[in-house]
Amino acid sequence: MINRRVCFASGLLAACGVAGILSGETPKTVLDGVYTEAQATRGQAAYERSCSRCHGAELDGGGQARPLHTNLFLDVWREDYLSSLFQFMQTRMPPGSAENSLPESDYVDILAYVLQVNKLPPGKGELTRRAIDTTLLVGPDGPQALPPSATVRVVGCFTHPASASSDTWTLTRATSAARVRNGAETDDKELKLSAHAAPGTHSYRLENLDDDHPASELKAQVGHVVQAKGVLNGQGDTARIYVLSFQGLGQPCDQ
- Residue burial 86-113, b: 16+ Cβ < 10 Å; e: rest: bbebbeebbeeeeeeebeeebbbbbbbb
Report the chain's mean pLDDT, rounded to a whole number.
Answer: 85
pLDDT of residue 174: 96
Q: Is the pLDDT of residue 120 over 70?
A: yes
Residues 152 and 207 occupy one common structural domain: yes
**2 assigned to some structural domain:** no
Quote the DSSP letter at residue 234. -
Choosing from 133, 152, 185, the residue where a domain stops is: 133
Choosing from 102, 133, 164, the residue where a domain stops is: 133
Residues 121 and 183 occupy one common structural domain: no
Residues 117 and 196 occupy one common structural domain: no
pLDDT of residue 151: 94
The predicted model gives 100-120 an average pLDDT of 95
**108 assigned to some structural domain:** yes
Q: Please, are residues 147 and 202 in contact by the beta-carbon 8 Å criterion? A: no
Residues 116 and 178 occupy one common structural domain: no
pLDDT of residue 25: 59
Q: What is the 3-state secondary structure (H, E, C) of 59-72?
A: CCCCCCCCCCCHHH
**234 assigned to some structural domain:** yes
Choosing from 84, 101, 133, the residue where a domain stops is: 133
Residues 118 and 148 occupy one common structural domain: no
Residues 89 and 160 occupy one common structural domain: no
Q: Is the pLDDT of residue 22 over 90?
A: no
Residues 156 and 240 occupy one common structural domain: yes
**32 assigned to some structural domain:** yes
Query: Which pLDDT band holds residue 252 (cuts at 50, 70, 90)?
Result: very high
* Window from 15-19, 207-211, 244-248 with minimum mean pLDDT: 15-19
State how beta strands 135-137 and 28-29 pair. Answer: parallel
The two counts, helices (H) then strands (E), for the chain are 11, 9
pLDDT of residue 188: 87
Query: Which pLDDT band holds residue 237 (cuts at 50, 70, 90)?
Result: confident
pLDDT of residue 101: 84
What percentage of the chain reaches a pLDDT higher than 70?
85
**11 assigned to some structural domain:** no
Q: How far apart are CA 43 and CA 113, in angstroms?
A: 5
Residues 85 and 157 occupy one common structural domain: no
The predicted model gives 98-117 an average pLDDT of 92
CATH, residue 52: 1.10.760.10
The predicted model gives 217-236 an average pLDDT of 92
What percentage of the chain reaches a pLDDT higher than 90?
61
**14 assigned to some structural domain:** no
pLDDT of residue 164: 56
Q: How far apart are CA 68 and CA 65, in angstroms?
A: 9
Q: Is the pLDDT of residue 19 over 90?
A: no
pLDDT of residue 154: 95
Question: Residue 116 sits in which domain range?
Answer: 28-133
Residues 38 and 120 occupy one common structural domain: yes
Q: How far apart are CA 235 and CA 152, in angstroms?
A: 13
Q: Please, are residues 84 and 92 in contact by the beta-carbon 8 Å criterion? A: no
Q: What is the pLDDT of residues 154-201, one digit of tens each?
A: 999 999 866 555 668 999 999 989 899 899 998 888 899 899 999 999
Query: Which pLDDT band holds residue 234 (cuts at 50, 70, 90)?
Result: confident
Residues 148 and 126 occupy one common structural domain: no
Quote the DSSP letter at residue 120. P
**166 assigned to some structural domain:** yes
Tally of domains within the chain: 2
**237 assigned to some structural domain:** yes
pLDDT of residue 63: 65
Q: What is the 3-state secondary structure (H, E, C) of 57-106?
A: CCCCCCCCCCCCCHHHHHHHHCCEEHHHHHHHHHHHCCCCCCCCCCCHHH
**Beta-ladder partners of 169:** 206
CATH, residue 171: 2.40.50
Residues 209 and 148 occupy one common structural domain: yes
Residues 99 and 196 occupy one common structural domain: no
Q: What is the pLDDT of residues 33-53, one digit of tens each?
A: 999 999 999 999 999 999 999
